[in-house]
Amino acid sequence: MDKLRPLLILGTRPEAIKMAPVILACQARADAVQPLVCLSGQHRHMARPILDYFSITPDLDLDVMAENQTLASLTAKLVTALDQLVTEHSPDCLVAQGDTATVMTAAMIAFYRHVPFVHVEAGLRTGNLQAPWPEEFNRRVAGIVASLHCAPTAGAAENLRREGVPDAQISVTGNTVVDALRMTIERERANSAAWTKRHPNLAGAAPMCLITAHRRENFGGGMENICQAILQLSARFPEAQFLYPVHLNPNVRQPVNKLLGNQANVALLEPAAYPEFVWLMDRASVLLTDSGGVQEEAASLDKPVVVMRETTERPEVLDATECYLVGSSVERIVDTVSSVLERVGTDVTGKATDGDSGSAIIHSSLFGDGHAAERITDWMLKRIAGTK
């Protein structure tokens, strides 16, 4: 039998994290799979280091990013570039993860060219096209045309069934974010001394709040509210450390630098490399985020997480973990984080995080057991290679 030739496409940092295990699983099946890895360039400077960490070299780079370009311009570039790519390489299927412009356009080109589309992390829904925006639209488009829906949870699979997707096209694989986290966490716990040297203010027993906020729906007033909440929290808890790796988008950096740049216990960092961010998550007392992936990682690390969004496409975390959905309300953010910090006190690490024998090993979580990528690869071989 000829080898399966999937075209694996990614564009952003979260996609790189969640696609890396799939790429590695395909490469591990060199007897049956000949993967072609494409970086769209949507977030090249943030995605490349992730691939480097996992020793993945893209075969192709579309280089579509330009400063301050609109979503329409980005989408147009991606459609043209991906169409040409599929024409040149004639892959057996296109594989993409999540809900970005890269994913949506990959799904569209697969549909136009009659090539099977494999959607990793399929079935996530909020039911509101405006939140998250434009991600909810992107993943619904991908869901319309996907041949194989790799659902991370039973809830995501049920969303797909309600939309009329046949059971034969759905597989609950788990989320590849857990695969990536398991590959990384023990390695970085063992490297804890180096990270502590890089972050000497975290060497003591003070609580640490790790912050990420970058989603489009929070641009403007939402980001200002988040910054005002952090200002109040940093004043209320002067002994706590607030670490904020700030996204490169100027819509994030401008208000963050303006409002938080002069607080003694607020450290504004450049975007943290993935291994560093995993170590920081593991060290944190509480995470404040508007990220979807961080919700999954926090659940896997058994960390309290305050979600600064009005809705979440990962409702499992609200039922089964210490997760609080607060939106961008200053009052709700301050009250919720205060409650967590008052409770944790100086018990900042939860499960030990400095590489000792007491460190918690992630065996399983709400979002998988660390073997999602293997299941996805096996399913592609069964369903797509089996039809060649």
Residue 20 tokens read as 């890396």
Catalytic residue among 216, 253, 332, 383: 216
Tell me the C-alpha to C-alpha distance, in Å, between residue 6 and each of 56, 143, 245, 282, 371.
Answer: 16, 18, 34, 34, 19
Catalytic residue among 15, 92, 135, 296: 135
Catalytic residue check, 297: no
Catalytic residue among 121, 136, 297, 313: 121
CB 146 within 8 A of CB 169: yes
Catalytic residue among 44, 48, 119, 247: 247
Amino acid occupying residue 245: P
Catalytic residue among 13, 15, 43, 99: 99
CB 12 within 8 A of CB 101: no
Catalytic residue among 125, 214, 215, 314: 214
Instruction: Reduce the DSSP state of residue 210 to 3 states and report it.
Output: strand
Catalytic residue check, 199: no
Residue 327 tokens read as 């939106």
Catalytic residue check, 371: no
- Cβ-in-10-Å burial (0-12, 13-18, 19+) of 123 comes to buried
State how far the Cα of 8 lies from the Cα of 376, in Å rounded to an integer. Answer: 12
Catalytic residue check, 214: yes
Complete DSSP assignment for 242-272: EEEE--S-HHHHHHHHHHHTT-TTEEEESPP
The catalytic residue positions are: 99, 121, 135, 214, 216, 247
